[in-house]
Amino acid sequence: MIDNLIDAIDYFSPEADYLEIRYHKRIRNGVLVKNGMATASSGKLEGIFVRALIANAWGSYSIDSLDRQSIFHGIEMAIRSAESAIGLKHKSVHLADVEVNEDIVRPHVEIDPLDISIEDKVSRIQEIDKQVHEFNSKIVSSSTNYFDVSDTKYILTSEGTQLELYDTKVSLYISAVAKDGAETSVASSRIAQTGGYERLNDEAVDGLIKTVGERAINLLGAPMPPSGIATVILGPQLVRLLAHEALGHSVEADIVEAGSALRYKIHQQIAPSFLNFIDDKIGYPYDYGSLPGYDDEGVRVGTTYIIRDGILETFLHNRESAADFGVQPTGNARAQDHRFEPIIRMTNSVIFPSHGEGWGADEIIEDTREGYLLLGRNMGQADSTTEFMFGVGEIWEIKNGEKFRPYKGVTISGIAIDVLQQIDALSREIKRGFAGHCGKGQIAFTGGGGSFARTKVLIGGK
């Protein structure tokens, strides 16, 4: 396969100012168990995406057939597409210069999920679902959903980059319904990480079952909190959601160019001086959004400081936007699979205090006279103004520095910039490993976490 790609790019490179070929194979396996009944699924997606740049115009083509003739035909079609687009767009396309890389990157995988039979996976997920039911007699229904994804990519460019990249991710999601008389409650959580089957070890799974089970039981009979502006301590999972949904999208350069609220805030202080916000692509390798060393344009990745000591330091870029802004690419070009072009996407979003700053998590609670501790997350949404609304899984009232009683999970909302600026405490303790599937016309794996953060939000309660 890769020899055919090398031959093709060598043959066609003289016909384009820039040529990029990305081969992508994805194998996915899943097991869903609802109240003991199992359904297994599997699938493979494989193909090639070609981009050609000619006279500042892009052309692209997706190829499903992988024989030599189809590959050559697909590249020729991408070149013809670029030629037909010359002069039709108002904006000229330029690419920032990057280093040429030749590399092979494999993830640290102790147990390849592809080596585990589907029968063994079904048996284990059924056992986990059984343990959810057995956690407490009040658990009356459950759903346990497992899947793994194995990716193989070859990325070649006419500049000389030649990469062979491998990636593996696993996920386990548990939802439980508790019932006591006429009262019911629902709780859910997941483990989703980059790595092999070993990431779902017994200790991690037992912890997940305990989190979901205890949350479902705690919420039985819990009242709704009063609505209104309140002091809250956001748990790390919600801090990640705030960082991703309400802030992260607003610093993706294509969103910035379209009119993000942060467009003219670059190099300005937009948060307390003790706060940092990073897009961490490989610094914490097991996070769900971590990349295998390079993005889908073949740019080497690392950690990008978006906010450093309260200052908005950079936006997230691919090669094209980096050239427009006169900066270096941040390695955030990502594509769902071979049917899509790479666009600017976040990876792992993390908020944490500057060096030497930060509280103990318990100290923040003890210092709070009246407020709420918010844990867990449900669905959330935000827009380019940084206005957001998130669902919360579990709420604890805080009185005189102590957790007092639980409330049912509700929604919280606000303007992210305002919420960010009102943070007056971040914990030294940073929790990561939280995950999501982000949609922006394409689905991308994302992750991260952060500190406990005290701020103010609008609670949509009783």
pLDDT at 334: 98
pLDDT at 82: 96
- Which residue's structure tokens are 């910035």? 256
**Do 461 and 224 touch, CB atoms closer than 8 A?**
yes
pLDDT at 378: 75
Going residue by residue through the chain (462 aa), what tens digit of pLDDT does each one get? 888 999 999 999 999 999 999 999 999 999 999 988 999 999 999 999 999 999 989 999 999 999 999 999 999 999 999 999 998 877 789 999 999 999 999 988 999 999 999 999 999 999 999 999 999 999 999 999 999 999 999 999 999 999 999 999 999 999 999 999 999 999 999 999 999 999 999 999 999 999 999 999 999 989 989 999 999 999 999 999 999 988 999 999 999 999 999 999 999 999 999 999 999 999 888 999 999 999 999 999 999 999 999 999 999 999 999 999 999 999 999 999 999 999 999 999 999 999 989 999 999 999 999 999 999 887 777 887 888 999 998 899 999 999 999 998 789 999 999 999 999 999 999 999 999 999 899 999 999 999 999 999 999 876
Token pair, residue 159, equals: 């500049």
pTM for the whole structure = 0.94
pLDDT at 46: 98
**What would the CATH number be for the domain defined by 2-218?**
3.30.2290.10
Could you state, in order of their start, the residue ranges of all structural domains in the chain?
A: 2-218, 228-460
pLDDT at 92: 83
pLDDT at 87: 81
